[in-house]
Amino acid sequence: MKKNYKYTQLVFFISVFVLIFGASIQNKNNWRKLMISKQPINPNRIRQITGSFSWIDHRLITDGFIQTMEPAEMLLYFFLILVGDKNGVSFYSYDKICALLKIDVDRFIGARERLIKRSLIDCDNGRFQVLQLPDKPIQISQPPKRMTPGNQPIQLKKIFQQLAEVD
């Protein structure tokens, strides 16, 4: 019974495909045009694994994780993947990460905290670990930005500077 069902699905799919694309697929050359070539564009420059190796779980795209992330989160997450060891652990300081990624401390802290809430990374005293992806993306609410009287965001750095001036 299962084979009949699969066969029926296959026949249905082929029929729909032929109805939709039949006019443009009259010969073998047109079939080739529909297929995307997986041949390297530049066969002299094929990447090879030399030394250490990082990998990115394809589920980031297929399961919708990346759609939930803000740009600073993506940047930090991909950086931590790139520099992590086989267990996803890395030891870069906050200052070094901010300098390499060209982001300020406020954006770094916000991205780090959101990645922790999404259960994508863990952090402990300057150590980071990229975690196994959860079963599905974790949605988090974005906290409202602090605003000045002129309706401009306040950087955490400026808040600390203002607090230091009060003493």
- Measured over the CA atoms of residue 87, residue 92, residue 93 and residue 95, the dihedral's sign is negative
* Domain residue ranges in the chain: 2-38, 58-160+163-167
pLDDT of residue 53: 81
Are residues 133 and 152 in contact, defined by beta-carbon separation less than 8 angstroms?
no
Architecture of domain 58-160+163-167: Orthogonal Bundle (1.10)
**17-58: pLDDT as tens digits:** 555 555 555 555 655 556 788 888 999 999 888 888 888 999
Q: How far is CA 138 from CA 41, 70, 88, 118, 151, in A?
A: 37, 13, 20, 5, 30
pLDDT at 54: 86
Angstrom distance (rounded) from CA 10 to CA 8: 5
Strand partners, 122: 129
| Residue with the larger pLDDT of the pair 4 and 75 | 75
* Candidate from 38-42, 114-118, 147-151 with smallest mean pLDDT: 147-151
Among 47-51, 63-67, 107-111, name the one with the lowest average pLDDT. 47-51
Q: Report the relative pairing of strands 127-130 and 121-124 from DSSP bridges.
A: antiparallel
